[in-house]
Amino acid sequence: MVHRLTREEARRIAVRAQLLAEPRPTEVLDVLRHLTLVQYDVTTIVALSADLVLRSRIGDAYTRDDLDDLLVSRDVVEMRVMLRPAEDVALYRAEMEAWPHTGPPRPWKAEIEEWVVANDVCREDILQTLRSEGPLPARDLPDTCAVPWRSSGWTHGKNVGKLLDFMAQRGEVAVSVREGRDALWDLAARVYPDVPALPLEEAYVERARRALVAAGIERPQRFDGYGEVAEVGEVGEQAVIEGVRGRWRVDPALLDLGPRQPFDGRVVLLSPLDRLVFDRRRTTEILDYEYLLEMYKPAARRRWGAWAMPILVGDRLVGKLDATSDRASGILRVHAVHEDQPFPPATRDAVEAEVRALADWLDLYPELP
């Protein structure tokens, strides 16, 4: 059976799946388990992205210490620049053990493996240093690489950093803690829980199932922007969306919650890295929303601002908030509220109230235009 959905139905499925409608969740770990991951990013133009993601679900009851406590207790760990429930490491162990021989053979995989093997002495030196002195930042680890890392990009010559990336993919090392912008590395056995690996194919299916539950509706395959293909494959049920090309997979648990059912939405200021808007193509197709993170653009070429926060009102994304936390002055400076279409007065008031709530949560004074 193929489910035929309107855009409104698809949009509401996506918003509900991301825990952005009522009722709010209350526990940080429960949110992370449902979302499966929250991206870690050191940008603090407004606040850390992970904190903004969790506040947008839980509300002002969420405090930044809540996440820190879970990281200290190892209930949450960082893996592949994502914060995840520690128990989910079991879903990646088989892939770590098989590295890099998962998926179809690729010439670049063989080249990476050859580079790691050529630098096995450096790899052992790093492990020994961490074993005796860790956790440590990359700059304090020995670079005894026999073959330098060559790249046309910004990683050229960053031997230790690249070797750590591959050792993490192998499950040998992991980020233990963050100190400011620095990741402190340690032996993975000291960071990850001692959970047995789920067989590789079972792990792929379970990861796909969880990804679909978190997204609500998703294409069978898409590139996630971090070198992985996020596949939901055959989990869920088939769907087509009116006016949108292609086939989709939908979480059947959300199929009965269409536009004819009550939808209790909220006004939410999202992180630019929020998974609701992270896939720009999906955001355009389902949510009818144009967005691009402009942090890496020259200021003169930005339309909305370096860290413009998408504004969600109910089940519609309606604009962007351009703001900066000036902590030295104790002010949340709102440079602009970009309205995709002119806001009705009630929407404008509700968005302003949420901006003031965000400022209060940040312990800053809101300076509105």
CA angle (345 as vertex; 341, 349 as ends), nearest 5: 105
**Residue 239 pLDDT exceeds 50:** yes
80-112 burial, b for 16+ CB within 10 Å, e for fewer?
A: bebbbbbebbbbbbbbbeebbeeeeeeeeeeeb
- Does residue 255 or residue 26 have the better pLDDT? 26
**Residue 228 pLDDT exceeds 70:** no
From first CA to last CA, the distance across the chain in angstroms is 52
**Residue 249 pLDDT exceeds 60:** yes
Please report the pLDDT score of residue 318 as a whole number: 98
Q: For residue range 50-103, list pLDDT tens digits in order.
A: 999 999 999 999 999 999 999 999 999 999 899 999 999 999 999 999 999 887
Residues 291 and 280: beta-carbon distance below 8 Å: yes
Residues 83 and 77: beta-carbon distance below 8 Å: yes
Supply 54's token pair. 């969790």
3-17, 92-106, 122-136, 161-175: segment of lowest average pLDDT: 92-106
Per-domain residue ranges of the chain = 100-191
Residues 299 and 290: beta-carbon distance below 8 Å: no
Please report the pLDDT score of residue 220 as a whole number: 87
Please report the pLDDT score of residue 227 as a whole number: 41
**Bond from prior residue into 107 cis (ω within 30 degrees of 0):** no
Q: State what percent of residues in the chain have pLDDT above 70.
A: 96
- CA of 291: how far to CAs of 17, 205, 268, 294, in Å? 20, 31, 16, 9
**Residue 226 pLDDT exceeds 60:** no
Longest Cα–Cα distance of the chain, Å, equals 66
Please report the pLDDT score of residue 364 as a whole number: 98
Residues 277 and 289: beta-carbon distance below 8 Å: yes
3-state secondary structure of 98: helix
Residues 326 and 282: beta-carbon distance below 8 Å: no
Please report the pLDDT score of residue 292 as a whole number: 93
Place of tokens 């053979």: 105
DSSP state of 200: H
Please report the pLDDT score of residue 203 as a whole number: 92
Residues 191 and 175: beta-carbon distance below 8 Å: yes
What are residue 312's phi and psi, to 5 degrees?
Answer: -105, 125
Quick one: pLDDT band at residue 1, thresholds 50, 70, 90?
confident
Q: What is the mean pLDDT of residues 166-174?
A: 97
**Residue 261 pLDDT exceeds 80:** no
Q: For residue range 133-153, list pLDDT tens digits in order.
A: 989 999 999 999 999 998 767
**Residue 19 pLDDT exceeds 60:** yes
Mention the CATH class of domain 100-191.
mainly alpha
